[in-house]
Structure 1
Amino acid sequence: MSEYTRSGPVAAETCTFAAIAAQLAGSYLHHLVPAFRTPARLICPSNEAELAVVEAMTQASAARGIPVEVIDLRPAPAERLDAVTALCGRGSKERDAMPTLLILRGFDVFGDDTHEAPTYPFRSEFQFDKKYLWLFIGRDATRMRFLFGSYRRPLYQAADDITPDAWRPSRRHDQ
């Protein structure tokens, strides 16, 4: 097998991730942002897709003058989420200041019963926050649904699902 053949599909997949991520960024950061932007959640199929989304969101935000902060929750989930929660409610001193796009990578780490407690107080803090635009990113669809898709969970419908169809797992594998 030639080197080109081995690296061809990977390069094509990365290009596809970048194209989909650019479309996501364009739709998430549309012309009405930040006035009409609710918190959003996104399921990425791989680390490469996640990195492409972060890059695309960062570029689109910079073009609109929106600051970006990326926080990877995976190394210390509870501590980092507590620090993020502390950011909420601390409104900007400038009334018309541009909010910061806050990208929370690895949010699916909380998607089981052992991590319910740290997410409960978080909802009431971030949903009406005006200082940040919230984007929750995870790779595990089941865990993200556990957090945002069940009426029994504290984060039920707390963020719009912006996962593109191409990245959604098929239903038969997901149940």
Structure 2
Amino acid sequence: MTDQELQRLVEKISMDFFHLPFLHRANFNSRLRTTGGRYHLKTHDLDFNPLVFQMYGGQELIKVIKHELCHYHLHLAGKGYQHKDQDFKRLLSKTGGSRYVQPLVKEATHSYKCRSCGTLILRRRKINTARYVCGNCHGRLLYIETSKQQVSRSNYPFQK
């Protein structure tokens, strides 16, 4: 998707869901790393992370566009445009925008296996196997591998 196609898509979504025109610029910004999009308060332009479209497709990008358009239209109307404001929360739920973008960062995970009970332990940071032991049986840990994968809280065997 090019910047011109993105501009037309944002204008169409603005008219279809907000019934107001989008009169500023919308473009992809590859410098964005962890956010799906950004609204500029001074220029009223919108930036979008191209990884959202590449990793998750058009449906997720549309949700991010709706989120940023909520900021845009509420700010121009003089209403509460921040995430904490009730005006923002109401408009976001009414239009079907996403509150958070899907994870965009791939992180390295370090895998450990308990030598006694065989429990698999996944960690984001590397740990000292001479110092730390298994949480189940206090057995010694064996370092298995480092892999570059999507890490979420549900991948952890022990949750706090």
TM normalised by structure 1 equals 0.23
Larger fraction in strand: 2
Structure label with greater radius of gyration: 2
Larger fraction in helix: 1
TM normalised by structure 2 equals 0.24
